[in-house]
Amino acid sequence: MIPKPPEHVVTITDGAALADFAARMRKRDWIAVDTEFLRESTYYPKLCLVQIADAEEVGLIDVIALDDLEPLAALLADTNVLKVFHSAEQDLEVLYQRFGALPAPLFDTQVAAPLLGLDDQMGYARLIDALLNIDLPKAHTRTDWSKRPLPDGALDYAADDVRYLAVAYHVIGQKLVEHEREAWLAEDFERMIDTQRFDVDTTQAWRRIKSWHRLKPAQQQALAVIADWREREAMASDRPRRWILADDAVIELAKRRPRDTEAMGEIRALPAKTRARHGETLLACLQEAAERPAEPIAPLPTPPSDEEKRLIKIGMDTLAERAESHDIAASALASRKEIAALVAGERELRLLGGWRAGVAGEAVLAAIKNAEAASGSGVSGS
């Protein structure tokens, strides 16, 4: 039987109410969690509201109105309480930035849904419709959650994000038990709360610029140094990286590598104000890059050969067959990129570990090896 969603909703704007609510929630086995935040004008996401529910009540924690969030931090860090999210990635990022730690242990209904035959990457509204036959309103998807007072209906919308998540978790949990799959996701959830995933490596900021591979090696080095500087500057000033320097400007600076600020003036993508403020720093970046070996910053991807394409197709076909036989979305098992890596000889892959290995990984690898043996290609190695 599907339980009723929690009806009691409390908006929390003072420390005493937060302490009382957090104390109640710390007695629960699990809580449903969601966040509302903004990041349009900042580098770091600005946490505005945290929604938490159990089977009986919903708490809307007004982060902006509260000076002391320690009770909330302690609740999220309490390892005796499971935290249930839907599509947790962005929530985890904003909570990690605010509290310096990730909520644990964790359960993500979006990650669990494909094990029950539901679509991979299913949005929250679609999940609730599929599981509970409830059509959630979408009127406040673009609300400015930093404004007070919030517009009419916004808090109801926010409450729904955890009110029905609490019920969906119950339904999904029951189905996982029925299919004897409740333990399958433990490794996935452990990976999700690895803090290294959210620690920024500024030296890799160039990867955000999609056209980096079109540059010559010396230009790539310039791109890497400038992107590194831009990332650190954005973090220090808490401003979006595009406000520091647009991608087009980064590319043009790396291409042309001007020797003085006057030459920079010929780059249309570089505003005069930016040139005046950061011109000398950018010249120093270009000088640093010029002193590096003119080598590519990363190996360029090589297109698969005809034989590799054939093996990838065999791997994908086998993956689809195994997914269908287990009523699991194939994309929850592996991507085409992972199958291509398998064909290329990589073995440290998600598909070959944990529950995925038995469900599909071993069969996919065997199919690829058998096809290789038949053709004598030996493409994927041992």
Give the pLDDT of residue 66: 97
Give the pLDDT of residue 378: 66
Report whether the peptide linkage leading into residue 149 is cis, meaning its omega lies within 30 degrees of zero.
yes
Q: Quick one: DSSP state of residue 178?
A: H
Tell me what the pLDDT averaged over the chain comes to.
95
Name which of 28, 21, 24, 19 is nearest 80 in CA terms.
28
Cα(113)–Cα(188) distance, integer angstroms? 13
Give the pLDDT of residue 137: 86
pLDDT band at 121 (very low <50, low <70, confident <90, very high): confident
State the average pLDDT over residues 155-161. 96
pLDDT band at 212 (very low <50, low <70, confident <90, very high): very high
- Is the pLDDT higher at 139 or at 329? 329
State the average pLDDT over residues 94-104. 97
State the average pLDDT over residues 130-141. 89
pLDDT band at 141 (very low <50, low <70, confident <90, very high): confident
Give the pLDDT of residue 97: 96
Residue 301 has pLDDT above 90, yes or no: no
Give the pLDDT of residue 30: 98
With H, G, I as helix, E, B as strand and everything else as coil, classify residue 98: helix
Give the pLDDT of residue 381: 61
Token pair of 345, please? 């000889």
Token pair of 87, please? 């599509």
Give the pLDDT of residue 375: 84
Residue 196 has pLDDT above 60, yes or no: yes
Cα(309)–Cα(312) distance, integer angstroms? 5
Note the Cα 222 to chain centre separation in Å: 28
pLDDT digits 0-9 by tens, 16-46: 999 999 999 999 999 999 999 999 999 999 9
Cα(34)–Cα(350) distance, integer angstroms? 27
Residue 302 has pLDDT above 90, yes or no: no
With H, G, I as helix, E, B as strand and everything else as coil, classify residue 6: coil
Give the pLDDT of residue 327: 93
Give the pLDDT of residue 240: 97
Give the pLDDT of residue 382: 53
Token pair of 324, please? 């269908």
Q: Which residue has the tokens 């959830």?
A: 189
The pTM is what? 0.92
Q: Are 6 and 53 in contact (CB under 8 A)?
A: yes
State the average pLDDT over residues 125-154. 91
pLDDT band at 380 (very low <50, low <70, confident <90, very high): low
